[in-house]
Structure formats: structure tokens, C-alpha cells
Chain A
Amino acid sequence: MTRFAPIKDAKIEDTSYQPGEYKYGFSMPENYVFKAERGLSEKVVRMISAMKKEPDWMAQYRLHAYKIFMDKPMPDFGADLSGIDFDNIFYYIKPSEKTEKNWDDVPSDIKSTYDRLGIPEAEKQYLGGVKAQYESEVVYGSLIKRLSDMGIIFCGMDEALIKYPELVKEYFGKIIPSADNKFAALNSAVWSGGSFIYVPKGVKVDLPLQAYFRINSANMGQFERTLIIVDEGAYVHYVEGCTAPIYTTDSLHSAVVEIFVKKGARCRYTTIQNWSTNVYNLVTKRARVEEDGVMEWIDGNLGSKVTMKYPAVFLVGKRAHGEILSVAVAGNGQHQDAGGKCVHLAPDTTSRIISKSISLRGGRASYRGLIQMNKGANNARSKVVCDALILDKTSRSDTYPVNKIDENNVVLEHEATVSKIGEEQLFYLMSRGFEEHEAEAMIVNGFIEPIVKELPMEYSLELNRLINLQMEGSVG
């Protein structure tokens, strides 16, 4: 198994990737036609599995999950989900069928945002949901070769299941069982797409791996499933999604992300979610961290109608560390119910949650967090900071922190602030010649700066620009 042999401190130099040099193309549709039907049934689940030519265990896994999904009640907390009509959803559509959508159908405000962000035509169409995929074969080819030379596996989840069935079977669903919650069950039953990453012992990947580079799977699918395994002493940074708004006619996005951080390993997972505002975005993300391992979730939520997402870290080994940095922006008609969970199961484990939420134009942002310290988690330490910024009187912010502490010698700090953009701050900046929306954007960008500075450069710039656009659009 040379693929898993340790390679120390290997580095990837990103010489081939140049922004703006994307090439793009279509994947060729395969030779069968799948008549998608609305709604979910055992038949649909079997069909999905059969079409993907999956091993039998996965088919059984899906069917079992389907039963759980049908039995489980809706969550009794968080955002209002009564608008979801499960019977009116296509649970599986071949990417080739998605291409039939027309560029003209994409709302003009989204198109103009692309123009303002200076996004190239091909990428615009991709983000607008017109093209099934957007890729750079040249970049991809050389990048993947270098990765595989280091023993790294980076491919679509569907592909991984076929190519590395044993590896997938060993880890799939082990941190987030189907029965975890209704939407994890739904994902387990109908999942399609998503990423699979395996980083061998001791390999440190310098270049952030981005879903962009993955070929032949619709990486922004409705029910994507991602599995990342970072072996002992290894490091990887995975970046999912993008800051530009993603238009989809699908009303429900329900993903599951599982991450295994082995002894002394480190994983950073960055997401910027900017779905169009008709989407229910209900995502379960969880990482299991062994001794001396580090897991960092950086989670940005800008788009969607409703988001419920609480990235979690389970600190199972001594001195394991978990970190969750979360930014949520809730505008008109949006409810961002976001936060994080840290579960301390071993001595000397540490965690930190920093949450920054902004609500404006009647939007609602909620922080929902859990810190749990089980018996035996001696000397565990955790710090939670949640700051909310409310821009106007019609907007709302809530905080729902939960602490479950079963050990005595632990430290838990919690800080929370709620601030409103004061007339004095606005006046101060306006008296320097900045228009109201510019002043607001400066205050908001300043507020989220502690998290934005953790993002890769191009993301932080784009996030700032996007917030500026949002302010511009909403004033006057």
C-alpha cells in the first residue's frame, strides 16, 4: 500500500493555478436516462444506488437511513422549517439534466452581482446553476498528479466509493450516523457528490484543496457528502463553496461532512455559503479529533433562506484542540441559525468558538452553541465568544448557549456582546465623506475582521466586496 506510505513534509507548489485562467467544459452525459420523480420513496433510493452502481452495503445503508428519515420528527429547535415540502423535491437529478436550465432564468440581481464582482462568463453560468460543472482540466490534471504522488486521495465521493470501497466503508457514517438527526438521515439516504480526501501519515498539504478542482462530480449538489481523513501528523486545509452567490432552483440543501483527525494531525475546513435566498440549508458537520490533533472549522453563512448549521468537534484524545470560527449575515427574509459544538471527552482538551453575526433589513441571526465536558475531561478548557451586530430596528439577534459540564476541574469562559451600529459611528464616518452604505460596510467589515483574516486572501477580499455590495443594495 504505497499510497498510504508516510511522506514527510512534502510540499505542493501551486504553480499552475492562476485565477482567471479557468478553462471549462461539459462532462459527457452517460448512456442512460434517469427520469427523476418528485418526492422520496424506497424506489427512488434504490434507483439512486443502482444508477451509481454502488456496492450492496451502501444500498442497504441508504435504505436503512431512508426508514430513519421517515420515522424521525423534524427538529424541535432552530429555524422555522415548515416551508419545506419534502414531496415536491427532486432527490436526484443527473447533472446533465441540470444543464438544461437557461441563463435567462437566473434572477437579474444575481447576474448583476456577478458582473460587479467581475466574475468571468463561464464561472457566472456555473454559479448560476446553468452548467453542470466548471473546471480546469489542465490545472486539475497536474494538481491531482502531484497530490497522488504524495499518496493523497482527492476525488468525488461517488468515485471514492467505487475506487476505494474498503477505505470509505471503514469511515463512512462513523461520526454522523444516519440516526443523528432527520437531515443527516435524509442525506444518508439520497447523498450524491461531495468530496473524499485522504491525507497519509505525516503529509502536510501546503496548498488549500478546493472543491473547484474536483472533476466529474457536481460539487455543489443538493445532498453532498464529504469525508476527510487526515492521518497521523498530517495537515490539510479544505475550502468548500465560494463567496459569490450560487443560484439554484433547488429548495433544500442538506449536506453531511465527516472529518477524522488522527493523532497529531490538523485539519482546517473553510466554507463560505452563499446560496440564493430560496434555499433551506441544513447541514451536519462533525469532526473527531484524536490526541494532540487540531480541528478548525471556519464557517461563513451569507446566503440561503434558512441555515441551520453547527459544526462540531469531538475531542476524543488528550490535548486535542477544536476551533470554530463562524460568521453569519442575515438579511431580508433570512434566518441564520448557526454556531458550533465542542464535546470534550479527554483530559487537557481545549476548544474555542468565536461567532460573529450580523442582522440587517429584518433578518434574524441566532447563535446556538454547545460546550460539553464529560466525566474524565480533566483540565479541559473552553472559551466561547459570540458577538452580534444589529443594523436596524427590524432585525433580530438571539443567543442560545448550552453548557453541559460533568467534570470539576475545568475552565469555561463565555463572552457575549450585542451591539447596534450607532448613529455616532455612522456620523463619524459620513463626516469623512463616506456615503451611508460605505460607512455601514466599513463598520460591518471591521466587525467580522477577526474571522476574515483567517480566510485565504482571495476569499477575504471577495467577502469584503460582497458585504459592500449587500450594503449598497440595501440602502436607499
Chain B
Amino acid sequence: MMKITNLKVNVEGKEILKGVDLEVKPGEVVAVMGPNGSGKSTLAFSLAGHPKYESTGKMSLGGKSIMEMSPDERANEGLFLANQYPVAISGLTVNSFLYQLYKKRNPEGKAMKLIEFRTWIEKQAALLELNPDLLKRGLNDGFSGGEKKKLEILQLIVFNPKTVILDEIDSGLDVDALKKIAKTVALVAKQRKIGVLVITHYNRILKYLVPDRVIVLKGGLIVRSGTGELAVEIEKDGYKNEN
């Protein structure tokens, strides 16, 4: 379970989050919605431990505080961030990176050998409708927006987290890709009891990745929370009702 209490975050001297309380239970899907500049991405980055985001308050995973942890230590506690803008690293082939990631997450002895892994990963890529040829290229190097997002989800599958944060993973996606990604996450989360924090501006991803709860963030504070119905309401009326 991921738990946040009174989280305040400063970025370059400016307070962006002003005291946020949030909980994501295993297998639960929680949507964080809000207009631009409401602090949604700040929430994602501060949870993952980006050094630019100075946080106070409490953040814990499975009852263990992650406040003082570096990004890799948080990841090793089972936290996975799927990025809005995945970073490219040329020369680091996707295949090699994914296998290193896999080995990191799976102890020696129980892990698949490279050849088995290659077969498995190609199958997973195909299920995501991600061209397997991309696995031979540099990480996110020259990938389209949709390809990058699908690769984030492929990493998620390899990583097998306890909690996942999807930071506006739906931005810049066509309908087919959006549907594929949302349904895959929903399925994997359900099967593996993964807690999902889905950060989004729009309702459309939530049609396929149905939230148990919806939280509306505005001006760095939670201004409303409710069931999945709230997302539909926001879709209709926008964010102007939240004051």
C-alpha cells in the first residue's frame, strides 16, 4: 500500500503541493485529475524521488517510509513511474536494457535465461502491438510518442511493481493505443494486485482503466474526491466547479 500524508513539495523555491493526503491499496485504481498546473506531475515526480522536488510530510510504501530514499531505492521498494515524457538513451538497446531490468527484479536461479527472456519479451511486445523491431533500437531513441508510452508499459510488465504511477500516459496517444495501454494496465494490475495511481487531465483513459476512486487536484490541494462517477462529471463540466 502507498500512503501519503500532508505532502508538501517545493520546486525551485515555489510551493507546488500544499499538503496532500492520499492512499492507494493493492489492486486499487485511484485517478488523480486536475487542470494544467494543479501539481499532478509534481506529485508523480516527488513520489518517485526526483531530486528537484523538495518534499516534506510522509510518504510510505508497504508501511516503510520512502521520504529519505533515492529514486532507485524507492523503485526497489516496488514503485514504478510510467512517464509522460520518457527519456531517450541512444546506444542502450531496448533488449539489453529490459533484460538488465528483468535481472535486477528477479533473483538469480529463478530468472529466465536470456534466450527464454527474448522470446517472452517479444510476445509481450506483440500483445501491446509494439513492433518487436523496436527492441533492437536504442532506448526511446527516435520512438514516436505512442511507441514510447507502450515501451513504458512493457517496462512495467518486466518490472512487476507493487505500486505504479501513470503520469499522463494518455497524452498524445491515438484512440487505439490509448485503449491498448489502459486495458493492459487494468488487466496486469488486477492479476498481480498492483496499486495504480493514474494521473490524467482527461476522462477518456478512465473508460478502460476504471478507477475505484477519483481525486481532483487544484492549486496544489485536493479539492474533491469521489467515486468513478466524478470523472464523468468532470468530463462534462470541466474543472470550473472545483473551488
Contacts and interface: CB of A to CB of B under 8 A. Distances in A.
Interface of A: 422-425, 427-436, 439, 442-443, 445-450
B89 A431 contact: no
Among A422, A429, A436, A439, the one with the most B-chain Cβ atoms within 10 Å of its Cβ is: A429
Contacts, number: 74
A446 B72 contact: no
Interface in B67-84: 70-72, 74-76, 80-81, 83
> Interface residue tally of chain B, by bracket?
20 to 34
B53 to A, nearest CB: 10
The 10 closest A-B pairs by CB, nearest first: A446-B91, A449-B91, A446-B92, A433-B75, A430-B71, A428-B87, A430-B72, A431-B71, A431-B48, A433-B76
A424 B84 CA distance: 13
B76 A446 contact: no
B46 interface: no
9 contacts: A427-B51, A428-B87, A430-B49, A430-B71, A431-B48, A431-B80, A433-B75, A434-B104, A446-B138
Contact of B89 (A429, A433, A435, A436): A429
B188 interface: no
Interface of B is mostly: mixed
Nearest to B161: A433
Among A424, A432, A439, A442, the one with the most B-chain Cβ atoms within 10 Å of its Cβ is: A432
A429 B75 CA distance: 10
Contact of A432 (B50, B51, B101): B101
Contacts of B159: 432-433
Contact of B72 (A424, A425, A431, A442): A431
Contacts of B48: 427, 431
Nearest to A435: B72
Interface of B: 48-52, 70-72, 74-76, 80-81, 83, 86-87, 89-93, 97, 100-101, 104-105, 138-139, 155, 159
Given A442-B92, A443-B92, A431 B49 contact: yes
A449 B92 contact: yes
Nearest to B82: A431
B79 to A, nearest CB: 8
Among B52, B92, B138, the one with the most A-chain Cβ atoms within 10 Å of its Cβ is: B92
A448 B71 contact: no
B12 to A, nearest CB: 13
A429 B89 CA distance: 10
B92 A430 contact: no
Contacts of A427: 48, 50-51, 71, 87
B140 to A, nearest CB: 9
A39 B87 CA distance: 55
A430 B75 contact: yes
A192 to B, nearest CB: 39
A206 B120 CA distance: 36
A436 B73 CA distance: 11
Contacts of A425: 87, 89
Contact of A423 (B51, B86, B89, B91): B51
B92 A445 contact: yes
B70 A430 contact: yes
Given A432-B159, A442-B89, A447-B91, 9 more contacts: A425-B89, A427-B87, A430-B71, A431-B71, A432-B155, A433-B76, A433-B105, A439-B72, A449-B90
A422 B89 CA distance: 10
Contacts of A433: 72, 75-76, 101, 104-105, 159
Contacts of B93: 449
B51 to A, nearest CB: 7
Among B52, B75, B93, the one with the most A-chain Cβ atoms within 10 Å of its Cβ is: B75
A424 B92 contact: no
Contacts of B80: 431-432
Contact of B91 (A434, A435, A439, A445): A445
Among A424, A430, A443, A447, the one with the most B-chain Cβ atoms within 10 Å of its Cβ is: A430
A428 B52 contact: no
A458 B51 CA distance: 38
A447 B90 contact: yes
B36 to A, nearest CB: 20
B97 A442 contact: yes
Contacts of A434: 72, 100, 104
Contacts of A450: 91
A71 to B, nearest CB: 46
Contacts of B81: 431
B90 A446 contact: yes
A435 to B, nearest CB: 5
A429 to B, nearest CB: 7
B91 A432 contact: no
A428 B140 CA distance: 12
B72 A436 contact: yes
Contacts of A435: 72
Given A427-B50, A431-B48, A448 B105 contact: no
Contact of A428 (B74, B86, B91, B105): B86
Nearest to A449: B91
